[in-house]
Amino acid sequence: MVAAHVHGVGNALAAGWRVLERGGSALDAVEEAVVIMEDDETFDAGRGSFLNRDGKVQLDALIMDGATLRAGGVGCVEHLRNPVRAARKILSESPHVYFVGEGAEKFAALHGLPLCKNEELIIPREVERLREYQTRIPTSGAKNAPEMGHPTDGELFAGAADDPTTSVDTVGAVALDRNGDIAAATSTGGTLNKAPGRLGDSSLIGCGCYADNLSAAASTTGWGEPIMKLVLAKWTADRISAGNLPEWAAQEAMNYLKQRLNGHGGIIVLSPEGHFGIAHNTPRMAWAYRTVKHQNAGIERDTL
């Protein structure tokens, strides 16, 4: 899985770079990068995502344009292979910012995106993972299990560190184009065994994704409930508009997440000046970047 993750982010980087290289926008670049990772079953986005308590895939995504502050988000969609494409349609073609569930799917279909069966998004690895999880924690599959406060809810990401079968793989991208505009996109299947209808941080503006040319573009991953309570992507962007470097702000965001709410996750953040930060307080998070002069990728915390 480690090699698959590094390979997957490399492919996403190449797709985003192709857009930028031919003079395309940061917005198009993050969309194309995220589509590649949604299509890659390695990640918790699109096909291959974690299953919710009822054994279904429910997806959330957000895309945001730092130049205009336009944004598009979808939540709890079950019939879209590429929720980021639907999010982009909302950004470009709707006066609204958010669509959820059936309304989001109808909007996507009306704008030419194909709908699929939920089963097409489910892979055997995830059926087995959910089965194993629900066997290990018998009440977690119960229809009347508490939505929050369940003993394992808070443990999910913390526990992931010791459990090689639990991988938490929301995908995200940030980009800066030759016009000096920045953009961000995030896409996820959320957390394993989540309650149906649960929305994570990923598609919430300022939580799992944010972009403003006056501060920064950011995308986060991790246990969503703490991240959304701290509005972490915007919190980080604010540190950058106050004059701090993205590298420092990304690390500070992870410290804040841990100290304030014992949260676990990761962040990528990019300023309009082209400075960037990558940080995570989990043992691993696959990342890759490219600039005109450099290219690099990694996954272990100590190689950052």
- Nearer Cβ to ligand ASP, position 19 or 171? 171
d(CA 164, CA 180): 40
- Nearer Cβ to ligand ASP, position 25 or 49? 49
Q: Buried (b) or exposed (e) across 229-264, using 16+ Cβ within 10 A?
A: ebbbbbbbbbbbeeebbbbebbbbbbebbeeebebb
- Helix axis angle for 26-39 and 2-21, nearest 10°, is 150
Give least dist CB 106 to ligand ASP, A: 23
CA angle 117–202–187, rounded 5-degree value: 45
Of 170, 220, 221, 282, the active-site residue reads 170
Give least dist CB 194 to ligand ASP, A: 7
Contact 187, 33 (CB under 8 A): no
d(CA 237, CA 232): 9
By CB under 6 A, name the binding residues for ligand ASP: 44, 168-170, 188, 190-191, 200-202, 208, 221-224
Strand, coil or helix: what is 288?
A: strand
The sign one gets for the Cα dihedral 253, 256, 258, 261 is negative
Q: Which residues contact 155 (CB under 8 A, 6 or more apart)?
A: none
CA dihedral of residues 164, 165, 166, 167 (deg, nearest 10): 80
Give least dist CB 47 to ligand ASP, A: 16
- Nearer Cβ to ligand ASP, position 67 or 237? 237
- Nearer Cβ to ligand ASP, position 52 or 271? 52
Give least dist CB 121 to ligand ASP, A: 15
d(CA 227, CA 157): 12
Give least dist CB 67 to ligand ASP, A: 26
d(CA 255, CA 55): 34
Give least dist CB 215 to ligand ASP, A: 21
Q: How far is CA 93 from the centre of its chain?
A: 22
Phi and psi at residue 263, in whole multiples of 5°? -90, 155
- Nearer Cβ to ligand ASP, position 111 or 229? 229
- Nearer Cβ to ligand ASP, position 19 or 62? 62
Q: Catalytic residue at 165?
A: no
Place of tokens 């300023």: 271
Residues known to be catalytic: 170
